Amino acid sequence: MSEPVVSLPVHGAATHLGTGPQLEEAFPPANDLLLEVRGLVKHFPGRRRRAGRAAGGHVRAVDGVSFWLHRGETLGLVGESGCGKTTTGRAVLRLIEPTAGEIRFRGQDVRAMDRQALRAFRRQAQIVFQDPFGSLNPRLTVGAMLDEVLRVHRLGGDRDGRRRRIAELLERVGLGSEHVDRYPHEFSGGQRQRLGIARSLAVEPELLVLDEPVSALDVSVQAQVVNLLEDLQAELGLTYLIIAHDLSLVEHVSDRVAVMYLGRIVETAPVAELYRAPRHPYTRALLSAIPRPDPIAGRAGRIVLIGDVPSPVSPPSGCPFHPRCPHPGKDEGCARLVPDLEGKAPGHFAACLKEAGTL
């Protein structure tokens, strides 16, 4: 049977349209969604050589990423260093301008927002960084920092109202009013991350992009901050896009997971399904590296990938994973055709030509 092939400008190669539904066609109705991201692209200019000539072309940091977020859910975004997780998070919030793609927040076109609409969006969608210290002004006390945020956004009312709101915010993140007059350097790592979260919550957001929120913290403190994030989500109905290296953490906190490789999502599924039955060879390799007390029947031992992640300046032709892929069915088609994210099971999409669907 001949393969249906269309030409799209992705990595300069033909795109493979398989038999299952494409992710892009499977978006839930817009009314149910807080965030819709379709075909997000962010390319950075390459380093420049003498006479202004680009040295190595564009860095394809994010190369056609699509996902959605229901209100109140958590999507975990995972993948090796440099695969484009942070760039995705920042581009979705327009902290950096996307090169292409569509972003809708509560149905509104984020890329078309004027200054005023963008300001309102920035209140509703906040980012929490990995390094809480780097994102806190060292010259402001905690009280002054939170007061400034409230004043800028005209929240909390008069001085007394803002003071009450600040006390409430600190309490909500597990700190006390005794911390109001302290400076960031007087806090431990875990407390600083609590402050970073309090600052984000001050503007009453609906969406938090959490970029490695606990990876800079001691293991003993990580669980406390994760519990805080879970409590806040339950209390305030927050929606999370959580970016993390730690696959056990992502399994613990996420409803759904998306796995990135070289600027693209290669697999996405509900969390239990993705961890129990991964359908992309890259996901299998990532998961095989997690030490588990309860090895899942049928899961092979650790899969060690050969070679480094290729440069996002010149990604491989066809399936971007093909130079490292251990799939026994890999063939020359893998170097020629770019696999789309295709439905393999209900709610489960993977970009692999050699994985049959069970739909």
| Residue ranges binding ligand SF4 (CB under 6 A) | 281, 319, 321-322, 325, 327, 329-330, 334, 339, 352-354
> Between residues 132 and 263, which has the closer beta carbon with respect to ligand SF4?
263
What is the biggest distance separating any 2 CA atoms in the chain, rounded to whole angstroms? 73
Helix, strand or coil, per DSSP, at residue 98:
coil
- Choose the contact partner of 197 out of ligand SF4, ligand ATP, Mg ion, none; CB within 5 to 8 A by kind: none
**Residues 323/313, Cβ–Cβ less than 8 Å:** no
Taking the complex as a whole, the smallest distance from the CB of residue 265 to ligand SF4 amounts, in Å, to: 13
- Choose the contact partner of 327 out of ligand SF4, Mg ion, ligand ATP, none; CB within 5 to 8 A by kind: ligand SF4
Helix, strand or coil, per DSSP, at residue 160:
helix
- Nearest in space to 325 (alpha carbons), one of 354, 290, 296, 294: 354
Spatial separation of the C-alpha atoms in residues 284 and 21, rounded to whole Å = 22
Token readout for 278 is: 């991964």
- Choose the contact partner of 352 out of Mg ion, ligand ATP, ligand SF4, none; CB within 5 to 8 A by kind: ligand SF4
> Between residues 213 and 343, which has the closer beta carbon with respect to Mg ion?
213
- Choose the contact partner of 44 out of Mg ion, ligand SF4, ligand ATP, none; CB within 5 to 8 A by kind: ligand ATP
H-assigned helices in the chain: 85-92, 115-124, 142-152, 159-172, 189-201, 219-236, 247-253, 271-276, 281-288
**How many residues at the interface with Mg ion, by CB under 5 A?**
1
> Between residues 169 and 341, which has the closer beta carbon with respect to ligand SF4?
341
Spatial separation of the C-alpha atoms in residues 298 and 295, rounded to whole Å = 9
**Residues 343/349, Cβ–Cβ less than 8 Å:** yes
Q: Which chain residues interact with ligand ATP by CB under 6 A?
A: 44, 59, 61, 79, 81-87, 245, 312
Q: Are strands 256-261 and 74-78 parallel, antiparallel or unpaired?
A: parallel
> Between residues 295 and 329, which has the closer beta carbon with respect to ligand SF4?
329
Spatial separation of the C-alpha atoms in residues 141 and 29, rounded to whole Å = 45
- Choose the contact partner of 82 out of ligand ATP, Mg ion, ligand SF4, none; CB within 5 to 8 A by kind: ligand ATP
Taking the complex as a whole, the smallest distance from the CB of residue 119 to ligand ATP amounts, in Å, to: 24
DSSP one-letter code for 349: E
Taking the complex as a whole, the smallest distance from the CB of residue 84 to ligand ATP amounts, in Å, to: 4
> Between residues 84 and 318, which has the closer beta carbon with respect to ligand ATP?
84
Taking the complex as a whole, the smallest distance from the CB of residue 31 to ligand SF4 amounts, in Å, to: 35
**Residues 80/309, Cβ–Cβ less than 8 Å:** yes
- Choose the contact partner of 64 out of Mg ion, ligand ATP, ligand SF4, none; CB within 5 to 8 A by kind: none
Residue 115: how many other CB atoms lie within 10 Å: 6
What is the total residue count of the chain?
359
Taking the complex as a whole, the smallest distance from the CB of residue 65 to ligand SF4 amounts, in Å, to: 17
Taking the complex as a whole, the smallest distance from the CB of residue 82 to ligand ATP amounts, in Å, to: 4
- Choose the contact partner of 354 out of ligand SF4, ligand ATP, Mg ion, none; CB within 5 to 8 A by kind: ligand SF4
Taking the complex as a whole, the smallest distance from the CB of residue 85 to Mg ion amounts, in Å, to: 5
Taking the complex as a whole, the smallest distance from the CB of residue 258 to ligand SF4 amounts, in Å, to: 16
Q: Site residues for Mg ion, window 54-93 (CB under 5 A)?
A: 86
Residue 334: how many other CB atoms lie within 10 Å: 23
HSE (CB half, 13 Å, CA atoms) of 56? 11
> Between residues 206 and 211, which has the closer beta carbon with respect to Mg ion?
211
- In the complex, the residues that contact Mg ion under the rule CB under 5 A are 86
